Amino acid sequence: MTDPRALAVIHAEAFDAPWDAASLAALLASPGVFAIKDGDGFILIRVVADEAEILTLAVRAAARRSGLGGRLVQAAVVRAAALGAERLFLEVAEDNVAARALYARTGFVEAGRRRGYYARADGSREDALVLSLNFTR
């Protein structure tokens, strides 16, 4: 089992509003939720019936632009498909250019928008783009 404390350390380095170890442990104890950790990053996925969702993808700053995020997404796709998922969804902040590029390279397309979904430290709000990837054509 993946140590939620180790995941929390990585998440804290990757996000302004990180999830703590208790929150990550609770998610990992939920049905259909799994984590894939690879060195300086991890991805947390939930699979329900034929759909999967990326709950979070976190990579330490020093390990970014090394291909780690892409490898984690690909590993999650393989595992989710093996568990019966036919499509994968996620939400990404509209202003997160690097993450959006990663997901575009992986084949995700925009499926919707959640206005003002992300709260910023300065009190502003940022839209979330809902992206999807179909495993079958």
Written as six digits, the tokens of 47 are: 């699979």
Model pLDDT, residue 109: 96
Model pLDDT, residue 116: 92
Written as six digits, the tokens of 68 are: 């780690």
Low-confidence ranges of the chain (pLDDT < 50): none
Model pLDDT, residue 1: 61
Residue 30 has φ and ψ, to the nearest 5°, of -75, 150
Model pLDDT, residue 137: 57
What's the pTM value of the predicted model, to 2 decimals?
0.91
Model pLDDT, residue 57: 96
Give the catalytic positions in this structure: 91, 103
33-44 pLDDT per residue, tens? 999 999 899 999
